[in-house]
Chains A and B, each alone.
Chain A
Amino acid sequence: MPEITTASRALPIGGTGRLTTGWWGMACLLATEGILFAYLIFSYAYLGAQAPQGWPPGGPPALKLALPNTLLLLASSVVLEIGHWRFRARREKIAMPALILTAVMGIVFILVQLKEWTNKGFGFATDAYSSSYFTLTGFHLAHVAAGVIALVVLAFWAWQQRFPHEGSLHLMLGRIYWHFVDIVWLVVFTTVYLVPQQA
């Protein structure tokens, strides 16, 4: 007759990293978000390929604001990683400062991008280029904003010391998402800003 016993080998509860279901959920989210940007870029490129005159109609877009802004966003990912590394190594008591700094860099990115938008000589409804330009960059901007909100909420929880030093699921998911938003921007930036420069 069987009886209730306890296993000799201990198993983690919830686990960390890829053991968590959260990591896999995030992977699904990124897959579907990533393909959304692929469809956005497809639409942009399709309309460009079918355009009767040049694409973009007013010549290649200026890099004066966009390029430094790109570097800023990339730097924010580095800041986030350094901060997290210091937190894991227990050099920081809480993970908050790096999260706040990253969020601030994200906010600056948003403000510069809004400035970039107002500098454009065309509006949302001018033509197919303007519509797809604002939609593609706007979708990305919305993702940056979502990332900023996530970072701020994480910073609040970090301030409450609700994350363990070793392998917090929340910090991991926040970092993955922020880097994803970064990488997507590199693709969008290449598509919208760099490719037209050659023409």
Chain B
Amino acid sequence: MATVAPDRLPAAERDKLTATWETAPGVYGWFASVDHKQIGIRYLVTSIVFLLLGGVEALVMRVQLAQPMQKLLGPEQYDQLFSLHGVTMIFLYALPVLSGFSNYLWPLMLGSRDMAFPRLNALSYWLYLFAGLFLYVGLPLGQAPNGGWFNYVPYTSRQYDPGINIDIYTLGLIFLGISTVVGSANFVVTLLRTRAPGMSINRMPILVWGTFTASAANLLAVPSVSLACFMLWLDRSFGTHFFDVEGHGHPLLWQHLFWAFGHPWVYALVLPSMGIVSDGLPVFCRRPLVGYTAVALATVTTMVIGFSVWVHHMFATGLPAMAISFFSAASIIIAIPSAISVFAWIATIWTGRPVFKTPFLFFAGFILLFVIGGVSGFMTASAAFDWQLTDTYFVVAHLHYVLLGINLFPVIGGIYYWFPKMSGRMMDERLGRWSFWTMFVGFNLAFFPMHIVGLEGMPRRIYTYPAELGVGGWNLLITVGAFLFAAGILMVLVNVLVSLSRGAEAGPNPWDAGTLEWSVSSPPPPQNFDIIPIVASRHPLWEDRLEDVEERSQLGRGYLLDRGRETIGTTPMDAEPNVILRMPGDSLLPLLLGIAVTFLFAGLLGHWWILSGLAFAAVLAVLIAWFAPQPPVGDEKARLYA
């Protein structure tokens, strides 16, 4: 199918590359691996485990809310559960799962052998894992975070919340923030420097655009919440007065800093998953995406505007009308780039020849949910209407349509789509369709009625409600829907586990897709590409069939780069080769640094300053080893296969 049938590299040469790039076997290799494919799969598995944990928390809450005045959970337990549910889903599932896809796919899509900073990649995973465990450490003690994922002061000041619940939250988010920032820096540099020769920025897959935009935004947004958490920790630990009115602090400062981070973050959770659809959907429509340039620019535009809408989370806090009007307008305008993408997807289906495989169902279902979530977002963007809706279940409905609709459905579709690449086996199509329809029906049963109970005045974040409110019937339906939805997720998991051993052989390109990751074997070899491809269009594997594409990519000839772990570095815009990058191999340093940082935060949590001091010294020691200079090397004439 490839334009230039790849000339197979001689076996000896191929084995040499594989041996060079292979992770060491055994326990050492497991802890020391810097292979982006392994790290990507770890990200995916860990985030799905957190998805299940957050899901179980949600189901317990839905049992509590199924009827008025239930007694399964007390208010304090409910507070911890809904806080942990939000923290888990938003911080520990939604972004990391996308990092998993991008870590696995980026070098394969970009025609490279690894990410720009392989050890940093491993570090961001270990930090994510340890920060996730850190955030959960309070649960068995009955001291989990209990101030909501938004953690508003003064509820969360020491005066009103004296336990360690909130300290776990504040330190845990700073901890996780380090992982997010180093991971984002890695994506940014990887995109700018390690694309295959010829992959200019107008030839990148949209997933790459989405993750790049999200990562750049994370670099700028995450410090805001880290700082807010740090100041709250100071307030709680040392009696400072950032948020405390008596010392002339201001509670709204928390909300500004939190949402200045929080809203860009929401887009970071959806732009890469919209990218999954933009890349996956066209394959099942048997044509390229309609409006590639418009969708790519809409991705970036959404994020730019996304930095100036945070006050729409604060319409009910008594801010001046002028400020509210500005942020209301910005929040309404942001519908335009979103609509561009929606019309592009619809046009792709409309003008294509759809193949109704499971990934297509998830991607098409996503479009409908996105529109519903977008319309309810448009409604809440209007300040006057928002005053009626704020703190009701309407907002819960909106945010779940947006986050589950735009994040989870593309993610599950993406799992069906790329599972064959990762495992070499197909997932079961029949069970796949069942899982989609169960999830889709369950989702809408669970979340659509929340609009109605919200309009009828049911407040959110409350552990129960009186029978007189008259929403008991709706709530029972919501709970049934939630369990149906969970059953659908379970089917997906069963499908994954069964297909791992019993799925049909996939071959390199089971969907007949057009991008580079499908040009290598499934699963890909450790070096990804025997020969670094030279890219001439957006769909290197479709060039013979697309009428308007003159150029021909070269997949079987080009840079061989077999003197050690080497890949090619290219210019940021046009991707012209200008440097050979020597990549580090297996290393325990990322894990050691992760462990040292964990002890550092454990010390801060317990106010065990000596532990923190020792851990900090360990951090420095690892960093010095990490950056130890290598002997300088001169220029090299690259080895080619041509």
Task: For the complex, give the distance between the alpha carbons of A11 and B579 in Å.
Answer: 5
Task: For the complex, give the distance between the alpha carbons of A47 and B631 in Å.
Answer: 51
Contact between B578 and A15, CB atoms less than 8 A apart: yes
Which single member of B222, B223, B248 contacts A128 (CB below 8 Å)? B248
Nearest Cβ distance between residue A61 and chain B, in whole angstroms? Answer: 17
Contact between B219 and A131, CB atoms less than 8 A apart: no
List, sorted by A's number, 10 A–B pairs whose CB atoms are closer than 8 Å: A10-B637, A11-B637, A13-B581, A14-B581, A25-B116, A28-B188, A31-B219, A127-B248, A128-B244, A170-B627
Contact between A153 and B629, CB atoms less than 8 A apart: no
A147-170 interface code vs B (CB 8 A; 1 in, 0 out) = 001000100010000111000111
Contact between A11 and B193, CB atoms less than 8 A apart: no
Which single member of B120, B222, B257, B638 contacts A7 (CB below 8 Å)? B638
Evaluate whether A5 and B640 lie within 8 angstroms (CB atoms) in the complex, with A24-B193, A131-B241 already known. Answer: yes
Evaluate whether A11 and B227 lie within 8 angstroms (CB atoms) in the complex, with A21-B117, A132-B242 already known. Answer: no
Interface residues, chain A, CB within 8 Å of chain B? 1-15, 19-21, 24-25, 28-29, 31-33, 35-36, 39-40, 42-43, 46-47, 50-52, 124-132, 135, 149, 153, 157, 162-164, 168-170
Q: Please indicate the chain A residues that have their CB under 8 angstroms from the CB of B234 in the complex.
A: 131, 135
Contact between A6 and B185, CB atoms less than 8 A apart: no
Task: For the complex, give the distance between the alpha carbons of A13 and B242 in Å.
Answer: 49
13 further interface pairs, Cβ-Cβ under 8 Å (given A3-B642, A52-B248): A7-B637, A12-B634, A14-B633, A19-B579, A25-B189, A40-B227, A47-B249, A47-B253, A51-B248, A125-B240, A131-B242, A131-B247, A170-B627
Say if the beta carbon of B635 comes within 8 Å of chain A: yes
Which single member of B192, B580, B632, B638 contacts A164 (CB below 8 Å)? B632
Contact between B569 and A21, CB atoms less than 8 A apart: yes
Task: For the complex, give the distance between the alpha carbons of A3 and B239 in Å.
Answer: 71
Q: Please indicate the chain A residues that have their CB under 8 angstroms from the CB of B385 in the complex.
A: none
Which 10 pairs between the two chains have the least Cβ-Cβ distance? A28-B185, A131-B240, A36-B223, A10-B635, A125-B239, A15-B579, A128-B248, A24-B189, A7-B638, A128-B249
Q: Please indicate the chain B residues that have their CB under 8 angstroms from the CB of A130 in the complex.
A: 241
Interface residues, chain B, CB within 8 Å of chain A? 7, 13, 116-117, 120, 181, 184-185, 188-189, 192-193, 219-220, 222-224, 226-227, 231, 234-235, 238-242, 244, 247-250, 253, 256-257, 260, 556-557, 560, 566, 569, 577-582, 620, 624, 627-629, 631-642
Q: Please indicate the chain A residues that have their CB under 8 angstroms from the CB of B260 in the complex.
A: 39
Contact between B227 and A43, CB atoms less than 8 A apart: yes
Evaluate whether A6 and B242 lie within 8 angstroms (CB atoms) in the complex, with A21-B193, A135-B234 already known. Answer: no
Contact between A15 and B569, CB atoms less than 8 A apart: yes
Contact between A31 and B629, CB atoms less than 8 A apart: no
Nearest Cβ distance between residue B179 and chain A, in whole angstroms? Answer: 13
Task: For the complex, give the distance between the alpha carbons of A11 and B234 in Å.
Answer: 51
Contact between A32 and B642, CB atoms less than 8 A apart: no
Q: Please indicate the chain B residues that have their CB under 8 angstroms from the CB of A51 in the complex.
A: 248
Evaluate whether A13 and B193 lie within 8 angstroms (CB atoms) in the complex, with A2-B7, A128-B248, A131-B241 already known. Answer: no
Evaluate whether A2 and B641 lie within 8 angstroms (CB atoms) in the complex, with A13-B582, A14-B582 already known. Answer: yes
A-B CB contacts (within 8 Å), total count: 175
Evaluate whether A124 and B238 lie within 8 angstroms (CB atoms) in the complex, with A28-B185, A32-B220, A157-B629 already known. Answer: yes
Nearest Cβ distance between residue B532 and chain A, in whole angstroms? Answer: 12
Task: For the complex, give the distance between the alpha carbons of A122 and B250 in Å.
Answer: 20
* Best-surrounded residue of B235, B631, B637, B641 (most CB of chain A within 10 A): B637
Task: For the complex, give the distance between the alpha carbons of A131 and B242 in Å.
Answer: 7
Nearest Cβ distance between residue A101 and chain B, in whole angstroms? Answer: 21
Contact between A46 and B250, CB atoms less than 8 A apart: yes
Contact between B253 and A43, CB atoms less than 8 A apart: yes
Contact between A170 and B224, CB atoms less than 8 A apart: no
Q: Please indicate the chain A residues that have their CB under 8 angstroms from the CB of B257 in the complex.
A: 39, 42-43
Nearest Cβ distance between residue A123 and chain B, in whole angstroms? Answer: 10
Task: For the complex, give the distance between the alpha carbons of A131 and B247 in Å.
Answer: 10
Q: Please indicate the chain B residues that have their CB under 8 angstroms from the CB of A4 in the complex.
A: 13, 560, 639-641
Contact between B636 and A11, CB atoms less than 8 A apart: yes
Task: For the complex, give the distance between the alpha carbons of A135 and B237 in Å.
Answer: 14
Nearest Cβ distance between residue A161 and chain B, in whole angstroms? Answer: 10
Contact between A24 and B241, CB atoms less than 8 A apart: no
Task: For the complex, give the distance between the alpha carbons of A52 and B247 in Å.
Answer: 10
Nearest Cβ distance between residue A86 and chain B, in whole angstroms? Answer: 20
A170 to chain B: closest residue by CB:
B629
* Best-surrounded residue of B189, B224, B240, B247 (most CB of chain A within 10 A): B240
Evaluate whether A36 and B227 lie within 8 angstroms (CB atoms) in the complex, with A47-B242, A131-B234, A153-B624 already known. Answer: yes
Q: Please indicate the chain B residues that have their CB under 8 angstroms from the CB of A19 in the complex.
A: 569, 578-579
Nearest Cβ distance between residue B361 and chain A, in whole angstroms? Answer: 38
Task: For the complex, give the distance between the alpha carbons of A29 and B642 in Å.
Answer: 39
Contact between B227 and A39, CB atoms less than 8 A apart: yes
Evaluate whether A13 and B220 lie within 8 angstroms (CB atoms) in the complex, with A32-B181, A131-B234 already known. Answer: no
Task: For the complex, give the distance between the alpha carbons of A43 and B569 in Å.
Answer: 40
Which single member of A7, A36, A43, A126 contacts B242 (CB below 8 Å)? A43
Q: Please indicate the chain B residues that have their CB under 8 angstroms from the CB of A131 in the complex.
A: 231, 234-235, 240-242, 247, 249
Contact between B636 and A13, CB atoms less than 8 A apart: yes
Nearest Cβ distance between residue A160 and chain B, in whole angstroms? Answer: 9
Evaluate whether A50 and B560 lie within 8 angstroms (CB atoms) in the complex, with A6-B638, A14-B582, A131-B242 already known. Answer: no
Nearest Cβ distance between residue B92 and chain A, in whole angstroms? Answer: 21
Q: Please indicate the chain B residues that have their CB under 8 angstroms from the CB of A5 in the complex.
A: 639-642
Contact between A13 and B579, CB atoms less than 8 A apart: yes
A149 to chain B: closest residue by CB:
B620
Which single member of B238, B620, B629 contacts A162 (CB below 8 Å)? B629
Task: For the complex, give the distance between the alpha carbons of A163 and B235 in Å.
Answer: 45
A37 to chain B: closest residue by CB:
B223
Task: For the complex, give the distance between the alpha carbons of A135 and B627 in Å.
Answer: 29
Q: Please indicate the chain B residues that have their CB under 8 angstroms from the CB of A153 in the complex.
A: 624, 627
Task: For the complex, give the distance between the alpha carbons of A52 and B241 in Å.
Answer: 14
Task: For the complex, give the distance between the alpha carbons of A184 and B561 in Å.
Answer: 42
Task: For the complex, give the distance between the alpha carbons of A159 and B181 in Å.
Answer: 33
Which single member of B185, B224, B637 contacts A9 (CB below 8 Å)? B637
Q: Please indicate the chain B residues that have their CB under 8 angstroms from the CB of A157 in the complex.
A: 628-629
Task: For the complex, give the distance between the alpha carbons of A29 and B624 in Å.
Answer: 17
Q: Please indicate the chain A residues that have their CB under 8 angstroms from the CB of B578 in the complex.
A: 11, 15, 19
Q: Please indicate the chain A residues that have their CB under 8 angstroms from the CB of B231 in the complex.
A: 43, 131, 135
* Best-surrounded residue of B227, B231, B234, B256 (most CB of chain A within 10 A): B227
Contact between A46 and B638, CB atoms less than 8 A apart: no
* Best-surrounded residue of A4, A40, A52 (most CB of chain B within 10 A): A4
